[in-house]
Structure 1
């Protein structure tokens, strides 16, 4: 009997031991699993200076870091820079002693000098190079009217960097948190120039994470052990995937295969009930972009008629299913604070576009046809191939058919192809989007500011361009906000575009993930303070 008792206890201990071991290893394995983040659509590039959309910026913000970053509350704090001072038109930055590249080498002030020069070199073709134009002689250098040594970016020594500006720039600290100002190590870049930020071995990271696996549709990140603040990074791995089929995304969430993803309105109520839904506006504008070189769309009345024919409130209700998106009758989103911190409240846009008077829209359309010398028109509508975009462009097509009698032909393509077709002007009207990159109205105005003489004859841009140039150089003030509104009204009154809505971002987040910070302006998800519980 005694032997049986001993055997019984041995068996119990073994069972408990196996159980404890399984729990331990399952827990460990679970902690080693990456946070799976669905980007929705793929990024175009991971070169921090060449990003063209915020999908790239999301990944870039994980693997690169500039001089400054934002804390939990959106305040500016040191990134690679330990501290900084502002004196009139100069900013001076002290580089952290423990700021290193992922190969263990020290980050120096010269890495920023080289990076800024690269962005402003027109051969680089950086999409947002104008973000650095406030720097002294930056625009002149970009246009070949100043040499590189005249650029107002100077390494005082390895640990101190000076940036001099043409004039005070209230928003430039925000620019210094974006990938466009990430440093690049000159020696590494020149050794990998042809494949820089393309192949896995042609990356050099300085952010919280580094890429350890790079394949089509999947990018695996792990903590960068050489990051200066690595001890406070609690999420060990992030896996970025790409799935644009949001019905499938819901299923992947249900199966526990996705931890974070934008979601469409198929299961929003379920996510709200489960308290796994985060909804936030980031100022992303969806709008109809007219090809102003099209011989018909040069006619202002035609553009105005098209804009007025689309009932934005109906679009929000029927197509967006009241998902929280906001009807847009202006260009600037609510997130832009302005001098008053409440720009949109100071300048409400309710009456900027009369989209309730379909008779007036038809009258303008008929007048446009008469001026153009035609009895009827057929125009092309270009859109992305995601489910939401297809529904939206079909709704717009029907609005134009019923209210104006305008015939349209829809073409849907991938995001990459849509961007290529738009830039090469292979479209009549495109359903487009523009996201603010920093907290200032100029982040929208950049989109329609003349960068060369192209289209100068199709839309009188001189007044707009001069006004925007003046706004750039003004410090924040009530007078500046007034001029911002004037510039905004030019775009609307001349019907340069037809704003449709400001999109809400509905995002599912696994409830075990805490401390994520989402940036109100860019929509970037920041994992710096995140942890799993």
Structure 2
């Protein structure tokens, strides 16, 4: 009781974004309040990398295609499309009702400009490699061909033609991901930092930016110019940046509507009790936690393999996380636990540094790895916790030895995991590892229409990646979250995307 009384004294701090008593608030006001823990690195879909940026980009932007409430891929900014007989040329007609939040019409030129800018050699982007399925995209990124030679052409403001290098059976699904979102060409040319301020922010999705106070909160408001605005019921989403403990207290006091995944985590010590609550939910997560190895600094493949078998995965999932995560030695998620033998060797106090993005969960996992690697391999493991921005900078410059990492697929296909490590110079690889047989298998899979044969080919590629231990899988993720019972039609997908487009309070 004392804890709650003390906490109530803190609630006025958040009065500008939340109601003090949701049980008494006017139910006609469709205001949602959640916790996102920390700032996204960017709200510009061309510059995203971290999970917060990805999730929020889908809140603010639509692509040509979109996953709807029935998990079907449907037209969004595209009103219609045609595919050539050879499955290489896609022609899209832009939705005549699609507008930017400043009232500008969304055009084919916006998409051509955005994608070509991302593929220019000078532009830093963590998602540019996703566009390499497009003709000459990879060569343009290397600076070997002109941007004008890329297979992206706006015929007029309503018609966009995309030519692929070869048929890609999942291309429409790729178009639902942030890698293929567009920005307003006119706005971006005038001010490349438009996404940093609510006064200049422009979006084409269900919501737009109302206010952003760094390290404190973000407020999203319904986009009145959205092409499907009549189906959007929420008027405002307040996104606070709270500790996990504060988040749980505020959820208990009806000051938050959702707690936990995908932005945050539930308190481990509370999980046993929470699992009996009606507000508790578990859903699949098409993602994997793993150790990323800088193979340029740790070039001994046998040592890397020893690292793979030197820690207890089940202890991490069962005793530390306790959220149904699946211990594994595979990168691509599967539905069953894989028992991994634990070896013992003596590396005579060889020193290694384990780097991770600072968070409570990452810290306890890093400590468990530190103990096991020290005990089983006689290693001297130094832990280095970094702020999120610094962590990604270290990864990008290969200024680390071992890094605690994760990957959540943009779409539910094995290839979205394996393509991460296809080329050593891609912005998502960050291991310095590349293997031509691996590349060949991934390229071969792109032309296989038989799904079973395609899966076999992709599995062979995964075996190469794991056999060379460029990464070391730890566990497959799950989503554990609390949601108020009167909050309806919130869709949380296996890729971590949380869709509030259809959400409402009953």
Q: Give the structure-2-normalised TM-score.
A: 0.88
Q: Which is greater in Rg?
A: 1
Structure-1 residue corresponding to 2:493 = 519
State whether residues 218 and 239 of structure 1, in contact with CA within 8 Å, keep that contact through their aligned partners in structure 2: yes
Structure-2 residue corresponding to 1:6 = none
Residues 479 and 139 of structure 1: CA distance in aligned 2, closer, same or farther (over 3 Å): same
Residues 465 and 170 of structure 1: CA distance in aligned 2, closer, same or farther (over 3 Å): same
Summarize the alignment of residues 42-61 of structure 1 with structure 2, pairs less than 5 Å apart.
Answer: 42-61=39-58
State whether residues 154 and 161 of structure 1, in contact with CA within 8 Å, keep that contact through their aligned partners in structure 2: yes
TM-superposed CA distance for 1:82, in Å, is 1.6
| Alpha-carbon distance between aligned partners in 1 of 2:51 and 2:431, rounded to the nearest angstrom | 32
TM-superposed CA distance for 1:399, in Å, is 1.1
Q: In the alignment, does 2:443 pair up with 1:444? A: no
In structure 2, the residue corresponding to 1:383 is in which secondary structure?
strand
Structure-2 residue corresponding to 1:129 = 128
Q: In the alignment, does 2:393 pair up with 1:420? A: yes
| Alpha-carbon distance between aligned partners in 1 of 2:351 and 2:186, rounded to the nearest angstrom | 55
| Alpha-carbon distance between aligned partners in 2 of 1:419 and 1:459, rounded to the nearest angstrom | 18
Residue deviations 1:60-102, cap 9 Å, x none? 1111111111111211111111222222212122212211111
User: Which of residues 244, 247, 250 is equivalent to 1:246?
Assistant: 244
Structure-1 residue corresponding to 2:16 = none
Q: In the alignment, does 2:331 pair up with 1:355? A: no
Structure 2, unpaired ranges of 5+: 1-21
Residue deviations 1:342-379, cap 9 Å, x none? xx7xxx884xxx732x4xx22xx44xx5xxxxx44121
**How many residues are treated as equivalent by the alignment?**
476
TM-superposed CA distance for 1:293, in Å, is 2.1
User: Which of residues 440, 464, 468 is equivalent to 1:466?
Assistant: 440
Structure-2 residue corresponding to 1:5 = none
Residues 456 and 404 of structure 1: CA distance in aligned 2, closer, same or farther (over 3 Å): closer
TM-superposed CA distance for 1:192, in Å, is 1.1
TM-superposed CA distance for 1:476, in Å, is 4.9
In structure 1, the residue corresponding to 2:133 is in which secondary structure?
coil
Structure-2 residue corresponding to 1:210 = 208
Q: In the alignment, does 2:149 pair up with 1:175? A: no
State whether residues 250 and 267 of structure 1, in contact with CA within 8 Å, keep that contact through their aligned partners in structure 2: no
Q: In the alignment, does 2:484 pair up with 1:510? A: yes
Residue deviations 1:456-480, cap 9 Å, x none? 9975623222322333444453222
Structure 1, unpaired ranges of 5+: 1-24, 335-343, 370-374
Structure-2 residue corresponding to 1:528 = 501
State whether residues 247 and 266 of structure 1, in contact with CA within 8 Å, keep that contact through their aligned partners in structure 2: no
| Alpha-carbon distance between aligned partners in 2 of 1:221 and 1:29, rounded to the nearest angstrom | 19
State whether residues 329 and 349 of structure 1, in contact with CA within 8 Å, keep that contact through their aligned partners in structure 2: no
Residues 476 and 188 of structure 1: CA distance in aligned 2, closer, same or farther (over 3 Å): farther
| Alpha-carbon distance between aligned partners in 2 of 1:31 and 1:415, rounded to the nearest angstrom | 38
Structure-2 residue corresponding to 1:139 = 138
Structure-1 residue corresponding to 2:317 = 316
| Alpha-carbon distance between aligned partners in 2 of 1:119 and 1:170, rounded to the nearest angstrom | 23
Q: In the alignment, does 2:366 pair up with 1:393? A: yes
Residues 453 and 236 of structure 1: CA distance in aligned 2, closer, same or farther (over 3 Å): closer
Residues 457 and 52 of structure 1: CA distance in aligned 2, closer, same or farther (over 3 Å): closer
User: Which of residues 274, 280, 284 is equivalent to 2:283?
Assistant: 280
Residues 121 and 181 of structure 1: CA distance in aligned 2, closer, same or farther (over 3 Å): same
Q: In the alignment, does 2:303 pair up with 1:302? A: yes
TM-superposed CA distance for 1:289, in Å, is 1.6
TM-superposed CA distance for 1:509, in Å, is 1.2
TM-superposed CA distance for 1:136, in Å, is 1.6
| Alpha-carbon distance between aligned partners in 2 of 1:27 and 1:254, rounded to the nearest angstrom | 15
In structure 1, the residue corresponding to 2:56 is in which secondary structure?
helix
Q: Give the structure-1-normalised TM-score.
A: 0.84
More divergent stretch after superposition (204-213 vs 309-318): 309-318
Summarize the alignment of residues 492-511 of structure 1 with structure 2, pairs less than 5 Å apart.
Answer: 492-511=466-485
| Alpha-carbon distance between aligned partners in 1 of 2:37 and 2:325, rounded to the nearest angstrom | 18
User: Which of residues 488, 501, 505 is equivalent to 2:462?
Assistant: 488
Q: In the alignment, does 2:87 pair up with 1:102? A: no
Structure-1 residue corresponding to 2:12 = none
Residue deviations 1:3-59, cap 9 Å, x none? xxxxxxxxxxxxxxxxxxxxxx99775543631121233311011111112211211
State whether residues 35 and 259 of structure 2, in contact with CA within 8 Å, keep that contact through their aligned partners in structure 1: yes
TM-superposed CA distance for 1:514, in Å, is 0.2
| Alpha-carbon distance between aligned partners in 1 of 2:436 and 2:302, rounded to the nearest angstrom | 20
TM-superposed CA distance for 1:390, in Å, is 1.2
